[in-house]
């Protein structure tokens, strides 16, 4: 294996003088005619060498880029505001789509040259922001390539993408605004009790009692957090919060229900989706005033300050923020960033015609990016909702849930061997059934266990309808 570091010539105005590219190459006897691009997470465009190793297993030369941010540890937020009030659009375009593209084109040519290989299968793999970066390539760099070269990537393994970033960032404020609107900030222990009750109540809706809510859609239809009112909770001191005990209040149940329901404007029109029942209430975590012994709502506000107000500050009062404010911030972000980080160009005809394939997976209990509202385009695109899983990882609260370990391999088998991933292989990584292999249904089919060891993939319209809400707060389609 050779670790190779080089740079491409794209200059940014003020921050970095060049963009760093980093490629890992398998030894020639292990090279299998493949190239892999990888991405980042959060506001990072790279995951560094951690992801580069994932390609070597499949004999793929693998690449990552620092986006011209000035180093491998630099974040977009470190460089996107050269001064308050000014966005560096050049660096934002790097983040949005250009740097991954340049790294890929150079990486493909470099790989062909290095191994003296005339043909190459090209892949992409990443999760979260990295998933958005993958979609940016599929959506943007196919038409041109389809005419004469085919698609930029033959296949992509994409997890929980932040591809509707201007919405998904704002929804991180939603749980706290639900609390301020209801004038009550539950201690984390109280909401955890509601979550545990939700898991207990909804576990069996998938036909099997295993501590995993495999049907959050049925849970949404059949469960109400008001059932938790009066349940006792007790937590030791943890994470800066004092020990707490009590019983679940109607206010906390109301807050949980509003968070599950999603964002609605003052006229009752839905603006955005939220997390599925059984997901953790991590966005609802309050702050604690040790002097007054009071909890108060708080939230991360990096997106609003940096990208909507263009101020490098993390301070933002929740005091005057309403549901309509959140809705308006989403609309502002949709307008302002529709050609950079809003990565939802809906027409993938050229990608499909060129033979491209995508496997997209998303934890059903994702507490960072809501999993709803993806279309199913089965010929070239498969969506797998992972029962019980959190954001790009298994959930510690539903440890018997499986998590996919070989998504890239399934993509490779689909592209190179024509093996259609009717179901996705996944493995239980913790809990009482560690190492148990399971399969995951391809959406819109949903799991139902007819007995303890037999899972069927079924469809029912009422469940499906919960995944495709009408976001009619906006006067135009939200892609
Ligand atoms: Ca279950």
Q: What's the token pair of residue 346?
A: 């809906």
Which residues of the chain fall below pLDDT 70? 1-17, 143-150, 371-376
Q: Using an 8 Å Cβ cutoff, are 445 and 457 in contact?
A: yes
Residue 455 Cα distances to 9, 430, 439, angstroms: 53, 20, 9
Q: Which candidate, 61, 426, 472, 104, places its Cα nearest to that of 269?
A: 472
Instruction: Classify burial at 291, counting beta carbons within 10 Å of its beta carbon; exposed 0-12, middle 13-18, buried 19 or more.
Output: exposed
Contacts of 439 (CB under 8 A, 6+ apart): 423, 424, 425, 426, 455
Q: Which candidate, 229, 296, 297, 295, places its Cα nearest to that of 257?
A: 229
Distance (angstroms) between ligand 1 centre and the Cα of 399 equals 11
Q: Using an 8 Å Cβ cutoff, are 76 and 45 in contact?
A: yes
Q: Is 51 helix (H, G, I), strand (E, B) or coil?
A: helix
Q: Which candidate, 39, 318, 260, places its Cα nearest to that of 161?
A: 39
Distance (angstroms) between ligand 1 centre and the Cα of 398 equals 9
Distance (angstroms) between ligand 1 centre and the Cα of 205 equals 7
Distance (angstroms) between ligand 1 centre and the Cα of 208 equals 5
Catalytic residue among 62, 99, 128, 280: 128
Q: Which candidate, 126, 122, 101, places its Cα nearest to that of 8?
A: 101
* Omega before residue 444 within 30° of 0, cis: yes
Gyration radius from the chain CA atoms: 23
Count CA atoms closer than 13 A to 369's CA, side-chain side: 27
C-alpha 436/C-alpha 429 separation (Å) is 8
pLDDT reported for residue 453: 87
Indicate if 128 belongs to the active site.
Answer: yes
Indicate if 366 belongs to the active site.
Answer: yes
- Domains of the chain, with CATH numbers? 4-164+341-421 (3.40.50.1820), 166-337 (no CATH)
260 CA to centre of own chain: 17
Question: What are the backbone angles phi and psi of residue 381, rounded to the nearest 5°?
Answer: -140, 130
Catalytic residue among 154, 217, 283, 366: 366
Distance (angstroms) between ligand 1 centre and the Cα of 63 equals 39
470 CA to centre of own chain: 21
Distance (angstroms) between ligand 1 centre and the Cα of 388 equals 9
* DSSP sequence for 392-438: TB--TTSTTSEE-S-HHHHHHHHHHH----SEEEEEE-SGGGTT-EE
Q: Is 27 helix (H, G, I), strand (E, B) or coil?
A: coil
Residue 71 Cα distances to 44, 68, 133, angstroms: 11, 7, 19
Distance (angstroms) between ligand 1 centre and the Cα of 155 equals 32
pLDDT reported for residue 13: 38
Distance (angstroms) between ligand 1 centre and the Cα of 463 equals 16
Residue 204 Cα distances to 52, 219, 456, angstroms: 40, 10, 15
Distance (angstroms) between ligand 1 centre and the Cα of 222 equals 15
Q: Is 148 helix (H, G, I), strand (E, B) or coil?
A: helix
Beta strands in 193-282 (DSSP E): 232-235, 244-247, 263-264, 270-272
Residue 141 Cα distances to 10, 36, 193, 205, angstroms: 18, 16, 47, 42
Distance (angstroms) between ligand 1 centre and the Cα of 471 equals 30
Distance (angstroms) between ligand 1 centre and the Cα of 255 equals 25
Q: Which candidate, 116, 152, 117, places its Cα nearest to that of 135?
A: 152
Q: Using an 8 Å Cβ cutoff, are 80 and 42 in contact?
A: no
pTM over 0.75: yes
pLDDT reported for residue 372: 63
Q: Which residues surround ligand 1, an ion (CB under 5 A)?
A: 203, 206, 208, 210, 212, 214
- Residue 191, sorted as left (phi over 0), alpha (psi -120 to 50) or beta, turns out to be alpha
Indicate if 339 belongs to the active site.
Answer: no
C-alpha 179/C-alpha 194 separation (Å) is 15
Catalytic residue among 101, 360, 362, 391: 391
Contacts of 247 (CB under 8 A, 6+ apart): 229, 230, 231, 232, 233
Distance (angstroms) between ligand 1 centre and the Cα of 54 equals 31
């Amino acid at each position: 294996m050779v670790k190779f570091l080089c740079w491409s010539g794209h200059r940014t105005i003020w921050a970095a003088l060049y963009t760093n590219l980093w490629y890992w190459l398998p030894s020639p006897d292990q090279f299998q005619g493949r190239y892999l691009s990888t991405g980042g997470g959060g506001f990072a465009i790279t995951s560094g060498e951690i992801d580069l190793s994932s390609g070597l297993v499949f004999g793929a030369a693998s690449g990552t880029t620092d986006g011209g941010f000035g180093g491998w540890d630099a974040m977009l937020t470190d460089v996107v505001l050269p001064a308050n009030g000014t966005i560096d659009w050049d660096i934002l375009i790097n983040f949005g789509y250009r740097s991954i593209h340049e790294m890929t084109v150079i990486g493909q040519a470099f790989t062909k040259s290095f191994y003296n290989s005339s043909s190459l299968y090209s892949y992409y793999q990443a999760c979260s922001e990295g998933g958005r970066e993958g979609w940016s390539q599929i959506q943007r760099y196919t038409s041109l390539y389809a005419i004469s070269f085919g698609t930029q990537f033959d296949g992509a393994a994409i997890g929980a993408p932040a591809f509707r970033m201007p919405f998904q960032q704002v929804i991180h404020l939603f749980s706290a605004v639900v609390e301020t609107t209801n004038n009550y900030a539950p201690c984390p222990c109280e909401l955890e009790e509601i979550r545990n009750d939700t898991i207990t109540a909804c576990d069996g809706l998938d036909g099997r009692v295993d501590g995993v809510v495999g049907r959050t859609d049925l849970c949404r239809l059949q469960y109400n957090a008001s059932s938790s009112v009066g349940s006792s909770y007790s937590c030791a001191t943890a994470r800066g919060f004092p020990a707490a005990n009590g019983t679940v209040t109607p206010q906390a149940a109301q807050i949980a229900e509003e968070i599950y329901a999603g964002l609605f404007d003052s006229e009752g029109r839905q603006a955005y989706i939220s997390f599925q029942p059984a997901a953790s209430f991590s966005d609802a975590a309050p702050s604690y005033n040790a002097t007054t012994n009071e909890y108060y709502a708080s939230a991360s506000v990096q997106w609003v300050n940096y990208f909507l107000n263009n101020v490098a500050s993390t301070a933002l009062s929740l005091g005057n923020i309403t549901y309509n404010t959140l809705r308006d911030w989403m609309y502002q972000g949709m307008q302002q960033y529709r050609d950079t980080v809003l990565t939802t160009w809906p027409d993938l005809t050229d990608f499909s015609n060129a033979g491209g394939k995508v496997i997209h997976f998303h934890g059903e209990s994702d507490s960072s990016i809501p999993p709803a509202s993806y279309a199913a385009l089965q010929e070239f695109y498969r969506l797998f909702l992972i029962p019980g899983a959190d954001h790009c990882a298994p959930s510690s609260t539903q440890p018997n849930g499986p998590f996919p370990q070989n998504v890239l391999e399934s993509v490779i088998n689909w592209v190179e061997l024509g093996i259609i991933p009717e179901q996705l292989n996944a493995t239980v990584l913790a809990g009482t059934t560690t190492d148990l292999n399971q399969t995951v249904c391809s959406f819109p089919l949903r799991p139902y266990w007819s007995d303890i060891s037999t899972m069927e993939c079924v469809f029912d319209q009422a469940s499906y309808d919960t995944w495709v809400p009408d976001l009619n707060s906006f006067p135009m389609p939200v892609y």
